[in-house]
Structure 1
Amino acid sequence: MKYFATAAVLAGSLAIAITPGATAAPAAAPATTTTTTADGIARPDVSAMSRSEIRAFNAKLTPNHRYYITCRQSSVTGSLAKVTRVCLTREDRERIARDAQDDTNTTIDRARASSGCDPYCQ
């Protein structure tokens, strides 16, 4: 019985934490210094930019520029209508993809090592 009471309290606190009007503390951004490219474009703070600011910023860049900002929407699991919009620079998206690939390779290498197979066997 205690388990169900604890689960109900937990569920209630989660419902309060994810209500649509609630604002969560922003995730800590990586400590970066303001960098500029050779063409004088400073690295943007994407999280603080509105859609119109992003459009104006992108108008000065080519789509293959490392600071070009793209926004993607993804649906929220468990909801039929709610979507989240995530805007990142091209450089950030490439870094995230590279980190994910590195994590995958590390996991595969560890699995091979624990099975007694060297990293180069298939």
Structure 2
Amino acid sequence: MLVLNRFVVPPDTQDSFVERAHAALAALAASTGYTSGRLTRALDDPAYWTLVTEWESVGAYRRALGGFDVKVHATPLLSESLDEPSAFETLAAAEPGSAVVAHGSDRAAEPWR
């Protein structure tokens, strides 16, 4: 599962944003089910940043959000992200030089029941 949290960070607050983002990433990285993460900045417009994390499953990500260090360091930062969808399930993947492997969805066919 991939989580993309996008931010628009004014130039005068970028140093404090980076410090807080590093703390958030460290807290998330210490969570069970975390597989990777990175803080990225747009080349076209340096005010645009993304915190990208990958997780074993939706459940692992949701459980991580309940951890104390995540609540202290990541949740305040994540609340500043753009209000848009941020969690994405992987439906196909390919390793370098390998074929595409399709994956079924974890979403319930009829989640309202």
TM-score range, shorter chain: under 0.3
Which structure dedicates a bigger proportion of its chain to strand?
Answer: 2
Greater C-alpha radius of gyration: 1
Which structure dedicates a bigger proportion of its chain to helix?
Answer: 1
Please report the TM-score for the alignment, with normalisation by the length of structure 2: 0.25
Between 1 and 2, higher relative CO (CA 8 Å, sep ≥ 6) is seen in 2
Please report the TM-score for the alignment, with normalisation by the length of structure 1: 0.23
